[in-house]
Amino acid sequence: MTVNVPGPDDGLPPLVDHHCHGVLRHEPDPGTFAAYLTESDRPPAAGTTFFDTQTGFAVRRWCPPLLDLPAHCPPDRYLARRRELGPDETRRRLLGATGIGAYLVDTGLPGDLTGPGETAEAGRGTGYEIVRLEALAERTALGVRDAEEFTHALDTAIHHASRTAVAFKSVAAYRHGLALNPLPPTPGQVHTAVRDWMAAGLSRLTDPVLLRHLVWQAIATGRPLQLHTGFGDPDLRLDRADPALLTDLVRATAGTGTDLVLLHCYPYHRHAAYLANVFPHVYADVGLTLTHTGPRATAVLAEFLELAPFGKLLFSTDAYGLPELYLVGAALFRTALASVLGDWTASGAWSADDARRVGAMIAADTARRVYGLPASEPPG
Amino acid sequence: MTVNVPGPDDGLPPLVDHHCHGVLRHEPDPGTFAAYLTESDRPPAAGTTFFDTQTGFAVRRWCPPLLDLPAHCPPDRYLARRRELGPDETRRRLLGATGIGAYLVDTGLPGDLTGPGETAEAGRGTGYEIVRLEALAERTALGVRDAEEFTHALDTAIHHASRTAVAFKSVAAYRHGLALNPLPPTPGQVHTAVRDWMAAGLSRLTDPVLLRHLVWQAIATGRPLQLHTGFGDPDLRLDRADPALLTDLVRATAGTGTDLVLLHCYPYHRHAAYLANVFPHVYADVGLTLTHTGPRATAVLAEFLELAPFGKLLFSTDAYGLPELYLVGAALFRTALASVLGDWTASGAWSADDARRVGAMIAADTARRVYGLPASEPPG
Amino acid sequence: MTVNVPGPDDGLPPLVDHHCHGVLRHEPDPGTFAAYLTESDRPPAAGTTFFDTQTGFAVRRWCPPLLDLPAHCPPDRYLARRRELGPDETRRRLLGATGIGAYLVDTGLPGDLTGPGETAEAGRGTGYEIVRLEALAERTALGVRDAEEFTHALDTAIHHASRTAVAFKSVAAYRHGLALNPLPPTPGQVHTAVRDWMAAGLSRLTDPVLLRHLVWQAIATGRPLQLHTGFGDPDLRLDRADPALLTDLVRATAGTGTDLVLLHCYPYHRHAAYLANVFPHVYADVGLTLTHTGPRATAVLAEFLELAPFGKLLFSTDAYGLPELYLVGAALFRTALASVLGDWTASGAWSADDARRVGAMIAADTARRVYGLPASEPPG
């Protein structure tokens, strides 16, 4: 079996996947599998299938060889072989071929998913946790009686999380959009907003006062804060997820010492790169975007690298549910990076030494610095 | 004579041009010809000519050989030969070389233009009509006495059109911008808006209440609704034509069973592709955009294909006035598609079978499904 | 010594750099040098350096050979050699290799910088001045007693400047954003705004009424007006610098006979190209953008050339402080242009004659027409 994944022999250090999610513990049925290929939470249009997307084609390109099948084999055949091997062996094979050394897992998504340690173990790497603020707040609210108790419990929960998690994450882009008032709300505003939210039966947290409170509470811990920006599921208004809308918040947080990591960014990745260029505490992430753009990942990565300082860009997969998405994310990143840096070196624009150094920064070194990870992972 | 148009022998089925316009019945003078090369309705800047644009260069690349002249010959020589042949022979030669099998003609533009059947006949294809809503409403208003009569007449006109036309089209982007209230207006709101419009002397229809009413009346018929998005003439505010602004309308219409087709999209084509990705009833169109970007059509098509599901993207030319624009639109589409899919196949990212299948979808198959056209056209 | 700068032998006429700034008269220390590589006015993030950007890599690629060092040599070595040669010799060598024949210098930036004549002399070209409106107004305000006197003094200053300068420049994008009321303010509004500004102690001029007044006063002179659009330093909100926001001002100024030149534009350069396409008096500039995108300058220039009419696009470097930025700007422009036009010619999309003609337009001819420069510069 030839594994046509550009792997650990491409000169990159073990990758740090600084933003990902657990994978399904159980075998998904074909419809469920296909649904994980898209950010949509809706059925495919009549006459179409989610396999006919760049993500679907990328899965069919990279994964079948690891399950002893030819690349591009039909979905049915692939899914049949997957069932034959079972979820554990599939996961072991796919994650084992990614060359990822550290998994920073956002644990805030629903489903019977592997946790950070469990995910990392299948890939023979190290797992770390990222705490999603809105999920933490919603969970915290379930066990309290009133607004005051909630505020205290939330403080405690965030403080506690900051000792074990490597970062926090905000999905304010989904819940409200990024055009947030940049200042921290006052205690009185927070109290009123919590009371109203509890009175309304603790529905999904969308109050911009509470979303801002979470952001500022997380920032106070000094842990890097990941912010969803750019595309996602249909719950989001794309134009309200433009990272440029965060400019005022970026300015307001410039003196805190806390780093902000703009996730995904597409199709506003040039905007995100600009923010990373001019604000020292802003970083940008290529994850999700590369996974969903297939052979265009090369061009999109190059667009990120127009204005993003080379020490401000971070690899991730944003894989969720399927171990296939880890493999595809890593393979597309490796392919795109090799292509971009190879072209620039061949033309004389960059030196080979610089290209190697920049590749390692994006793949792992910057994430290790930003999240305070050990210089390399202990053997798994 | 060598026809250097990548034509019917490139493996694609006869193209379905799902959005185009009639061509001039009479020979245009040189200034009129040049004016059709741009979306602008203004004169060229001093010292410049509309021939010095990607559209102008593309016309000079593809069309002269079909009139027995060398590619890139000077505009004057081309126009002289065109006059020599006359409009009928020119049209016959240019349309006959496009490989377009079905012409879906928006009949709402002014000028002495060929109709759907007449256009299609010159290209030996089949013609279908698309009804432009604002033009229909303005025409309907001329023959009625009051608001009530207008509302009934409009209902009748839309109902009637839905039995003969294959789709409706809205140019709300021009008339107001796409940031429309997503809900259908109430009958009372419509009545008031019609009354005000009639009282104001039936000037150009720009009232957002009426624009929304037209959109919702069209949607109620079940026929696909084409929406102008992205660039166009100077009448339009580009930032107000971002298809992302349609998100709330897209959500509000998700349960209707009617498809929305986002036209043109550029430079927001990645936004349009995103909407097509996450909403089952949203489609995106590459027309106009490819025609105006010349050798960059390859890169722009590739950008569409980042997030757009492959069964959600549609070919068109948006040709208007000049048969040259049909040829250029078809030739740039064929060239761009062959280049993009060829590269992806050569690198192993896609299989050749998949590339062939996706090419046929974009060229014709998806349009046939969405507009309910016969699987293939009867011989002309 | 091999000078690997694509230079005067590439067939282009002497370049017209239609927007640039003076360079430092004295040798900068290493930190100051690095700070000029970025648009940021803040320190680099911990663990990063401004040399690890496309601008830093481009300086290391193009400049060391002109100081007798190998391309891509380490920053320290380059800076040591620079000190050894001294600022005058460095400037002479770097500017002398650009092939720029005319320097249009915006004199409104602070620092001990060379003026237009002094800059041009080092490059053996001709210098011209561009007057920055906000700086002119702030300077004028220092010497007057009341609002009325200011208004008269400003009129005089603008009138005077219009006789010596070749253009005006507005940085309203920085001071307020481009979503300005498109109409000229009334004399009463101007009077009130000036009085309030003076009462507030003549702080930085940010009042939109005054910014509009400056724009309209400049337009009245008939000199081309350069408008900052797109990216810049962190003082700017990127999304408020989208040139599409200028559409209403563009419409309002269409009858004045004055040309508007949209500077920089990135990442909204497709928006700027669209405006240049549909409005006769709008032009677009590639400066700053190419300098900061390194080997991506080719792709970005190609994006400009999608919709921009070929006689509407202008070369500049936007160099500031370092003569290195002149060399990098010119070298990246020449490289990108040769690559783009070479590809399009090779594929048959463009003829070689057209490519040569368009190259000369962007490099120099259009700027000579727009700014009323002599057809060629007298020998220096």
Read off the pLDDT of residues A133-180 as tens digits, 9 standing for 90 and up.
Answer: 999 999 999 989 999 999 999 999 999 999 999 999 999 999 999 999
Q: A350 and chain C: CB distance < 8 Å anywhere?
A: yes
Residue B194 is predicted with a pLDDT of 97
Q: A334 and chain B: CB distance < 8 Å anywhere?
A: no
B40-93 pLDDT tens trace: 999 999 999 999 999 999 999 999 999 999 999 999 999 999 999 999 999 999
With CA atoms as reference, the chain B residue closest to A56 would be: B309
Residues in chain B with CB shorter than 8 Å from the CB of C344 are 294-295
Please check the confidence at residue B3 and state whether its pLDDT lies above 60: no
Residues in chain A with CB shorter than 8 Å from the CB of C296 are 302-303, 305-306
Q: What is the ipTM of this complex?
A: 0.96
Please check the confidence at residue C377 and state whether its pLDDT lies above 90: no
Please check the confidence at residue C116 and state whether its pLDDT lies above 50: yes
In a domain, B23, yes or no: yes
In a domain, B95, yes or no: yes
Residue B377 is predicted with a pLDDT of 72
Residue A4 is predicted with a pLDDT of 43
Determine the distance in angstroms separating the CA of A312 from the nearest CA of chain C, rounded to an integer.
Answer: 8
Distances (CA, A) of C280 to B56, B127, C153, C220, C284: 16, 36, 33, 18, 12
Distances (CA, A) of C85 to A46, B106, C93: 71, 68, 10
Please check the confidence at residue C243 and state whether its pLDDT lies above 90: yes
Question: Contact partners of C by the rule of 3+ C-beta pairs under 8 A?
Answer: A, B
In chain A, the percentage of residues whose pLDDT exceeds 90 is 93
Determine the distance in angstroms separating the CA of B58 from the nearest CA of chain A, rounded to an integer.
Answer: 25
Are residues C354 and B294, on separate chains, in Cβ contact within 8 Å? no
In which band, very low, low, confident or very high, does the pLDDT at C1 lie, cut at 50, 70 and 90?
very low
Please check the confidence at residue A7 and state whether its pLDDT lies above 70: no
With CA atoms as reference, the chain A residue closest to B251 would be: A234
Please check the confidence at residue B378 and state whether its pLDDT lies above 90: no
B313-367 pLDDT tens trace: 999 999 999 999 999 999 999 999 999 999 999 999 999 999 999 999 999 999 9
Residue A202 is predicted with a pLDDT of 79
Residues in chain A with CB shorter than 8 Å from the CB of B271 are 238-239, 267
State both tokens at B96: 């006959």
Residue B46 is predicted with a pLDDT of 92
**What mean pLDDT do residues B168-193 have?**
97
Of C248, C281, C306, the CB nearest to B45: C281
Please check the confidence at residue B201 and state whether its pLDDT lies above 90: no
The one-letter amino acid at C85: L
Are residues B295 and C350, on separate chains, in Cβ contact within 8 Å? yes
DSSP state of A365: I
Please check the confidence at residue C379 and state whether its pLDDT lies above 60: no
Beta-carbon count within 10 A of B41 CB: 10
Please check the confidence at residue A379 and state whether its pLDDT lies above 90: no
Residues 105-164 of A with CB under 8 A from B: none
B257-304 pLDDT tens trace: 999 999 999 999 999 999 999 999 999 999 999 999 999 999 999 999
Structural domain boundaries enclosing C213: 9-36+49-371
Please check the confidence at residue C241 and state whether its pLDDT lies above 60: yes
Residue B379 is predicted with a pLDDT of 55
In a domain, B42, yes or no: no
Residue A6 is predicted with a pLDDT of 52
The model's pTM: 0.97
- Please, are residues A312 and C45 in contact by the beta-carbon 8 Å criterion? yes
Determine the distance in angstroms separating the CA of B214 from the nearest CA of chain A, rounded to an integer.
Answer: 24
Residue A143 is predicted with a pLDDT of 86
Q: A47 and chain B: CB distance < 8 Å anywhere?
A: yes
In a domain, C302, yes or no: yes
Residue C3 is predicted with a pLDDT of 40
**What mean pLDDT do residues A29-45 have?**
94
Residues in Cβ contact with C201 at an 8 Å cutoff, skipping those fewer than 6 apart: none
Please check the confidence at residue C9 and state whether its pLDDT lies above 80: no
Residues in chain A with CB shorter than 8 Å from the CB of C267 are 270-271, 274
Residue C6 is predicted with a pLDDT of 52
Beta-carbon count within 10 A of B256 CB: 14
Q: Which residue has the tokens 């663990």?
A: C47
In a domain, A43, yes or no: no
Residue C8 is predicted with a pLDDT of 56
Please check the confidence at residue C4 and state whether its pLDDT lies above 60: no
Residue B340 is predicted with a pLDDT of 98
Of A280, A312, A366, the CB nearest to C42: A280
Residue A378 is predicted with a pLDDT of 63
| CATH code of the domain in which B169 resides | 3.20.20.140
Are residues A40 and B369, on separate chains, in Cβ contact within 8 Å? no
The one-letter amino acid at B236: L
Question: Which parts of chain C fold into alpha helices (H)?
Answer: 30-35, 54-62, 75-96, 116-122, 133-142, 147-164, 172-175, 187-199, 208-221, 247-252, 269-278, 289-293, 297-307, 323-346, 352-360, 366-371
Nearest by Cα to C325 from C53, C108, C77, C124: C53
**What mean pLDDT do residues C170-186 have?**
97
C248-290 pLDDT tens trace: 999 999 999 999 999 999 999 999 999 999 999 999 999 999 9
- CA trace torsion C172, C178, C184, C185 (10° rounding): -70
In which band, very low, low, confident or very high, does the pLDDT at B203 lie, cut at 50, 70 and 90?
confident
Are residues A244 and C238, on separate chains, in Cβ contact within 8 Å? yes
A202-257 pLDDT tens trace: 789 999 999 999 999 999 999 999 999 999 999 999 999 999 999 999 999 999 99
Of C244, C302, C366, the CB nearest to B239: C244
Domains: count for chain B: 1
Residues in chain C with CB shorter than 8 Å from the CB of A256 are none
Determine the distance in angstroms separating the CA of A249 from the nearest CA of chain B, rounded to an integer.
Answer: 23
Residue C202 is predicted with a pLDDT of 79
Residues in chain B with CB shorter than 8 Å from the CB of A44 are 280, 309
Residue C296 is predicted with a pLDDT of 98
C28-60 pLDDT tens trace: 999 999 999 999 999 999 999 999 999 999 999
Distances (CA, A) of C73 to A175, A341, B226, C86: 49, 18, 56, 19
Calculate ∠ Cα A159-A164-A170, nearest 5°: 65
Averaged confidence pLDDT in chain C: 95
**What mean pLDDT do residues C331-350 have?**
98
In a domain, A41, yes or no: no
- By CB neighbour count within 10 A (0-12 exposed, 13-18 middle, 19+ buried), where does B71 fall? middle
Residues in chain C with CB shorter than 8 Å from the CB of A358 are 52
Nearest by Cα to A292 from A232, A359, A341, A361: A232
In a domain, B22, yes or no: yes
- By CB neighbour count within 10 A (0-12 exposed, 13-18 middle, 19+ buried), where does B255 fall? exposed
In a domain, C2, yes or no: no
